[in-house]
Amino acid sequence: MSKKVLFLCSGAGGNLRFLHLAIKKGWLPGWEHISVITDRDCPAGDYAEREGLPVACVDFVEDQQEKLLNQAKAWSPDIIITTVHRILGATFLEEFDGRLINLHYSLLPAFAGSIGASPVRAAMKYGVCLGGATVHRVTGVLDGGHPQAQIAFPVTPDDLLEELMDIEFRAGCIILLAAFLTLKNDAKKNSGNSQNGMVLTIKSRNALLNPAALLPSELFEEGFWLSIK
């Protein structure tokens, strides 16, 4: 039986484009359907329309998110990726408990509570030696759910935000793929913890990914990343 992903989006939709391409390339056997809900007009919604993906724009504030809940239930997702710049209400969280995951650009619990580039800026200002990204279960505690996958890489005082954000984006896509390869469709029960993880290279930087996953060779080719920008 084919499985379904629902993206909740507010922005450029880079992770949406990546996962859609991963499914088309056959990197995620069994995952065949992607639908998209946005909370505003945004490039993610535009991409979904161009690609013929089911898409709806919903006000996340109106009616205690009843319209959002009904639309999500209508598409019966197996996993929901919450890359949206909104807080999800208790009713929505309860309805989809165990099926909600989020991608955050830090090694949680460090620099929790912000989105996009904000945690990266905060980490740079603090002077961290390691940056990273986390795929975690979504709960009622903001950025407080258990990690499903994490990746860490070196950061230096000479790094520029634009360069780090490119590394973060690639790292985030990789752990999103790793999470899907290891989730077994149960975000509640599966942990990202494994004994050894794996070492990989992102733009000439060694990175440690946990859990380890069999990754396509294209992820280590510059042309691939240029193709999804």
Residues 6+ apart with CB under 8 A from 47: 13, 16, 17, 53
Name the residue with tokens 């990343």: 225
Element containing residue 209 per DSSP (H, E): strand 205-210
143 included as an active-site residue: yes
Distances (CA, A) of 36 to 125, 158, 191, 209: 34, 38, 26, 28
d(CA 146, CA 192): 8
- Picking from 208, 179, 214, the residue whose alpha carbon sits closest to that of residue 81 is 179
- Backbone φ, ψ for residue 191 (5° rounding): -105, 150
Pick the catalytic residue: 39, 63, 97, 143? 143
- Catalytic sites, residue numbers: 143
